[in-house]
Amino acid sequence: MDTNVEDIKASSGIGSVLNYLSLVKFAHTIFAMPFALIGFFYGLKKINYELDRPWWLLFILVILCMVFARSAAMAFNRWLDAEYDAINPRTVIREIPGRIISKKNAMIFVVFNCVAFLITTYFINQLCFILAPVALFVILFYSYTKRFTPLCHLVLGLGLSLAPIGAYIAVTGQFALVPVLFSLSVLFWVSGFDIIYALQDEAFDKANNLYSIPSLVGTKKALRVSEYLHFLSAAAVIIAGITGGFSFWYWTGVTVFSFFLFYQHTLITPKDLSKVNKAFFSSNGIASVVFGVLVLIDIFLKV
């Protein structure tokens, strides 16, 4: 008897794991992860690797925090928006409306990741543990914002912006200006490209009384707002570079990051949104990874 690939996946549990990874768009972790690594290793360099445990153990805990927090936020968003997703042609194939994952199991997944996140922060340091509920509130609250404010994009940006400052606090146990500037850059960057992504649902949002910048001001003005936010994002990394005394590799990273920030705006016009996904994932993914690698090189080479 022949056994097809789907049967193998189902029987081994691989299919279920892949479904949950798809539910939370795990590949999109690429956006904030490089900034978290920057915050982490910048913090290590600041304290000269003087920790009460092996640095790699703390590193694993920080990565786990990111994975748990982001998984909780994305799954909660899918759980809360399931009814809208079911009537939106663009999202009807998502896991919950497509009946691949039930709402009950999605919520169980959310609770598991929230608890795992809190437990992990407990083993990092006291400040991280104290701030953990605040971080959870921000990233979960975002899912409600599209119901009452077009500033929902900024709330999403705020949630992801916690990555660099959170990683820095995990290492040092305190705040500092440079990682805060990195966080501001993430806030403006993510808000800007989320506005671009939301262009796809402008008509749907208007028809269903949902709020977004595109549904409020239209495609042309929304693209202009996105450009302004990306300008602020580039400005934040420039100020961080000056404040932190970074050198050649950092500024090369800033150049690449800024280029892709504004390159994505050449891919989209008010009359042609066909390249939204290319602008959203490819351009921003490359910008984040290349910037992260070059900044880490600069950090490691700094005496």
Which CATH number belongs to the domain containing residue 112 in this structure? 1.10.357.140
Mean pLDDT, the chain, integer: 90
Give me the pLDDT at residue 168, please. 97
Give a yes or no: residue 5 inside a domain.
no
Over residues 283-301, mean pLDDT: 93
Query: Token digits for 115?
Result: 């608890």
Q: Reply yes or no on whether the pLDDT at 31 is more than 60.
A: yes
String of DSSP letters for 96-145: TTTTSS-HHHHHHHHHHHHHHHHHHHHTT-HHHHHHHHHHHHHHHHHHHH
Give a yes or no: residue 114 inside a domain.
yes
Q: Reply yes or no on whether the pLDDT at 7 is more than 50.
A: no
**Higher per-residue confidence, 12 vs 215:** 215
String of DSSP letters for 48-100: TT--SS-HHHHHHHHHHHHHHHHHHHHHHHHHHTHHHHHH-TTTTTSTTTTTS
Write the pLDDT tens digit of every residue in 48-98.
888 989 999 999 999 999 999 999 999 999 999 999 999 999 989 888 998
Give a yes or no: residue 136 inside a domain.
yes
Give me the pLDDT at residue 21, please. 74
Q: Reply yes or no on whether the pLDDT at 276 is more than 70.
A: yes
DSSP 8-state symbol, 254: H
Give me the pLDDT at residue 227, please. 96
**How many angstroms separate the Cα of 213 from the Cα of each of 185, 191, 264, 273?**
19, 10, 18, 16
Write the pLDDT tens digit of every residue in 164-201.
999 999 999 999 999 999 999 999 999 999 999 999 99
Write the pLDDT tens digit of every residue in 202-222.
999 999 999 999 999 999 999
The total number of structural domains in the chain stands at 1
Give me the pLDDT at residue 11, please. 39
Residues 6+ apart with CB under 8 A from 115: none
pTM of the model as a whole? 0.90
Give a yes or no: residue 132 inside a domain.
yes
Over residues 263-271, mean pLDDT: 87
**Domain limits at 295?**
16-301
Q: Reply yes or no on whether the pLDDT at 6 is more than 80.
A: no
Q: Which residue has the tokens 């409306």?
A: 97
The number of beta carbons lying within 10 Å of the beta carbon of residue 289 is 15
Give a yes or no: residue 113 inside a domain.
yes
Which residues are 269's β-sheet partners?
Answer: 272
Give me the pLDDT at residue 122, please. 97
Give a yes or no: residue 216 inside a domain.
yes
Q: Reply yes or no on whether the pLDDT at 230 is more than 90.
A: yes
Give me the pLDDT at residue 274, please. 80
What is the rounded end-to-end Cα distance, in angstroms, of the chain?
Answer: 64
Give a yes or no: residue 38 inside a domain.
yes
Give me the pLDDT at residue 27, please. 64
Give a yes or no: residue 7 inside a domain.
no
Strand, coil or helix: 272: strand
Give me the pLDDT at residue 115, please. 98
Q: Which residue has the tokens 């990741």?
A: 113
Q: Classify the phi-psi angles of 212: left when phi > 0, otherwise alpha if psi is within -120 to 50, otherwise beta.
A: beta
